[in-house]
């Protein structure tokens, strides 16, 4: 079985970060911490945001959670009244619509087509906003498409948001450091006048290969951060003290590994090439992190060797899994059909084997 479905780097956590976690255990840093996170970590986050993006937040404007996902959930749960609308460009993370609904809100899904790079356009945003709109959720680079919003893209969206003072912006930047082929920009820095309406979310999971350590953070308006901390205090409480000290090392220590990760992911990868078969072409769209999001429209309606008709992206993904032992994710889970998400965060050897199997799978269809 070759798994190309996981959204995590195929690297071990850097040794210095691991040692910081071990040292925290040995030093007895295993007690309760403040719900918002230890002060040294929040200070390191503050300095990182200032250094990398020119964003200035007080330490009390920063909250640490059990991964970026909890930070997003806390923000929605803290701010939504029943029926408040959350604009979500699709394809999107599988969690976004359900988190909005769980918090009592109404997800408003706005389809973003491949022709425009799967990115939300200003006219589509304007059309989606109503008096009940509370949030716009923006993920750049995007899961699952890899789309990166440029500075000009963000300025166009900001121009719309300026006309609707009730709309807040949740900027999920968790894949920031794995951006290549495009410059990263975050909207609170691009449009400083929206700073007071923006929650910037990030973490160490992707940048530092720390997915299992569960450390994310959010920086935004003080009243929102306080409300998020109240909710977290009655749910999970703080994230692991040990993980926090490891994250402190990741943000304040040497970060040479980030360039190394980006160089590996940015190099030509087997899953990003055109894979052609005698039965047609399987064309991945360009990815700008460790995902590609190709359309499988060209195989819909074709038959497998045992006579089964491929009727959807889910059928196609299951065919890969059952017949060729390659796991990918159907695009329908991301509110986008017929596409599949392929992670190329695996080793080059494994990716090469997987691509050979994918080409073979396409060639068997008739």
| Rounded distance between C-alpha atoms, residue 284 and residue 274, angstroms | 7
pLDDT digits (tens, 9 = 90+) for 117-159: 999 999 999 999 999 999 999 999 999 998 899 999 999 999 9
CATH number of 15-254: 3.40.640.10
Instruction: Say which residue, 169 or 352, is predicted with more confidence.
Output: 169
Which residues neighbour 121 within 8 Å (Cβ) at sequence distance 6 or greater?
112, 156
Helices (H), 28-94: 39-53, 68-79
Question: Residue 180: is its pLDDT beyond 90?
Answer: no
Q: Are 50 and 186 in contact (CB under 8 A)?
A: no
Structure tokens at 154: 């963000």
Q: Which CATH number fits domain 268-363: 3.30.428.10, 3.40.50.1360, 3.50.50.60, 3.90.1150.10?
A: 3.90.1150.10
Alpha carbon 64 to its chain's center: 17
**Per-residue confidence band for 348, with pLDDT thresholds at 50, 70 and 90:** confident
CA distance 280 to 297: 11
Residues 275-291, mean pLDDT to the nearest whole number: 45
pLDDT exceeds 90 at position 208:
no
Q: 293-302, pLDDT tens digit by residue?
A: 889 998 999 9
Residues 194 and 217: their CA atoms lie apart, in Å, by: 19
Residue 56: pLDDT over 90: yes
Query: 47 in helix, strand or coil?
Result: helix
C-alpha closest to that of 250 among 258, 240, 241:
258
- Cα gap 346→109, rounded to integer Å: 31
List pLDDT tens digits, range 251-269. Answer: 997 677 666 666 555 554 4
302-328 pLDDT per residue, tens: 999 999 999 999 999 999 999 999 999
Q: Sketch the domain layout of the chain as residue ranges.
A: 15-254, 268-363
- At residue 272, the pLDDT reads 44
Which pLDDT band holds residue 346 (cuts at 50, 70, 90)?
Answer: confident
**For residue 288, pLDDT beyond 50:** no
Once rounded to an integer, what is the mean pLDDT over residues 190-194? 97
| Mean pLDDT for the chain overall | 89
Nearest to 281 by CA among 357, 359, 364: 359
Identify whether the C-beta of residue 153 lies closer than 8 Å to the C-beta of residue 18.
Answer: no
Whether pLDDT at 61 is above 70: yes
Number of Cβ within a 10 Å radius of residue 307: 7
pLDDT surpassing 70 at residue 40: yes
Smallest Cα–Cα separation from 200: which of 174, 226, 181, 228?
Answer: 174
Residue 281 pLDDT > 60: no
Q: Strands of 132-277 (E only): list them.
A: 133-139, 168-172, 198-203, 216-219, 275-277
């Amino acid at each position: 079985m070759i798994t190309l479905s996981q959204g995590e780097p195929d690297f071990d956590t850097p040794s210095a970060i691991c040692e910081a976690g071990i040292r925290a255990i040995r030093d007895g840093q295993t007690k309760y911490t403040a719900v918002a996170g230890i002060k040294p970590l929040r200070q390191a986050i503050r300095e990182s945001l200032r250094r990398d993006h020119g964003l200035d937040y007080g330490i009390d404007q920063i909250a640490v959670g059990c991964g970026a996902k909890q930070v997003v959930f806390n923000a929605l749960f803290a701010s939504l009244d029943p029926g408040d609308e959350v604009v979500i460009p699709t394809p999107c993370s599988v969690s976004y619509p359900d988190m909005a609904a769980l918090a009592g809100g109404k997800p408003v899904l706005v389809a973003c087509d491949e022709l425009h790079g799967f990115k939300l356009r200003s006219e589509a945003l304007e059309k989606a906003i109503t008096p009940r709109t509370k949030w716009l959720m923006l993920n750049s680079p995007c899961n699952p498409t890899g789309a990166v919003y440029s500075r000009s893209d963000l300025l166009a969206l900001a121009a719309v948001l300026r006309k609707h003072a009730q709309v807040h912006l949740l900027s999920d930047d968790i894949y920031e450091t794995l951006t290549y082929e495009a410059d990263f920009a975050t909207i609170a820095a691009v449009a400083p006048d929206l700073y007071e309406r923006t929650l910037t979310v990030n973490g160490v999971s992707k940048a530092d290969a720390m997915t299992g350590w569960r450390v994310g953070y959010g920086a935004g308006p003080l009243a929102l951060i306080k409300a998020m901390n109240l909710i977290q205090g009655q749910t999970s409480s703080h994230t692991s003290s040990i993980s926090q000290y490891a994250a402190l090392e990741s943000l304040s220590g040497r970060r040479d590994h980030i360039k190394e990760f980006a160089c590996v992911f940015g190099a030509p990868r087997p899953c990003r090439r055109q894979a052609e078969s005698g039965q047609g072409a399987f064309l991945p769209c360009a990815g700008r992190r460790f995902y590609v999001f190709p359309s499988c429209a060209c195989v819909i309606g074709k038959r497998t060797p045992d006579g089964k008709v491929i009727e959807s992206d889910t059928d196609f993904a299951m065919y890969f899994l059952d017949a060729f032992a390659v796991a990918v994710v159907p695009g329908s889970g991301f509110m986008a059909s017929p596409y599949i998400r392929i992670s190329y965060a695996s080793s080059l050897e494994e990716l090469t084997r997987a691509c050979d199997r994918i080409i073979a799978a396409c060639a068997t269809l008739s």
